[in-house]
Chains A and B, each alone.
Chain A
Amino acid sequence: KQEVTQIPAALSVPEGENLVLNCSFTDSAIYNLQWFRQDPGKGLTSLLLIQSSQREQTSGRLNASLDKSSGRSTLYIAASQPGDSATYLCAVRARHAGGTSYGKLTFGQGTILTVHP
């Protein structure tokens, strides 16, 4: 059974800091990994998606890496801003038991990020 763990559970940093959020998963047979952002009381916003064959993806100040063999991903946020305050969720997409690629997402518990001015 796939398990996803995110460290730290919460992080509070001053504006302008670079920071790293960690995600680990127990079963490396994944199709891809997604990083999401969730604001309080809101839905999920997809930030980055990394295919199992890729090593990293970048979007603006965000960079996500994937080391499938060791079961780890990191989300790097450069020059953090108060608007980055949210919960960040990591989710891995399983290969469906039948061998196709439309499997469910297994989520970590999230990292609550607070960036203070």
Chain B
Amino acid sequence: GEEVAQTPKHLVRGEGQKAKLYCAPIKGHSYVFWYQQVLKNEFKFLISFQNENVFDETGMPKERFSAKCLPNSPCSLEIQATKLEDSAVYFCASSHHRVVNYEQYFGPGTRLTVT
């Protein structure tokens, strides 16, 4: 598709439950990035992929967060045993490796609320 798609739009989980978010990058884009936006404007980089390979995972909390990008499937971000502080909007972005300006295109985000 021509836009980054993210599902679901909203997700509510009780503390300790699992949360799984999905991202379909723009067709033909090789790079996928996940960001977490907390407290209105504070963006934090989580992880990036080059096709199905992890490219940069320096922002990922190691213990409860995991992510995958498998061939012919949407990318996913999974949080095991959610905590209250995981409440945030999670954005996915994709980038085309052949485009000179390497612009990142963002999806609409998934709002996760942990109660």
Interface size on B, residues (CB 8 A): 27
Q: Which of A91, A102, A110 has a CB less than 8 Å from the CB of B102?
A: A102
Whether a CB of chain A sits under 8 angstroms from the CB of B18 is no
Q: Indicate with 1 or 0, residue by residue over B29-71, a CB within 8 angstroms of chain A CB atoms.
A: 0010101000011110100101000011011000000000000
Asked, given contacts A102-B102, A104-B56, whether A87 binds B41 with beta carbons under 8 Å apart, the answer is yes
Smallest Cβ-Cβ distance to B101: which chain A residue: A49
Smallest Cβ-Cβ distance to B107: which chain A residue: A43
A window 79-117: CB within 8 A of B? 87, 89, 91, 93, 96-97, 101-107, 109-110
User: In the bound complex, what is the Cα–Cα distance between A51 and B43 (angstroms)?
Assistant: 21
Q: Which residues of B have CB within 8 Å of A104? A: 33, 45, 48, 56, 58-59
In the complex the two chains form, is A43's CB within 8 Å of B102's CB?
A: no
In the complex the two chains form, is B102's CB within 8 Å of A106's CB?
A: no
Main SS of the interface on chain B? strand
Q: Which of B56, B91, B97, B103 has a CB less than 8 Å from the CB of A103?
A: B56
In the complex the two chains form, is B91's CB within 8 Å of A43's CB?
A: yes
Nearest Cβ on chain B to A103's Cβ, whole angstroms: 7
In the complex the two chains form, is A102's CB within 8 Å of B55's CB?
A: yes
Interface of A with B (CB < 8 Å)?
Answer: 31-32, 34, 36, 38, 42-44, 46, 49, 51, 87, 89, 91, 93, 96-97, 101-107, 109-110
12 A-B pairs (CB sep. < 8 Å) = A31-B102, A43-B107, A87-B41, A93-B104, A96-B55, A102-B48, A102-B102, A103-B56, A104-B48, A104-B56, A104-B59, A107-B42
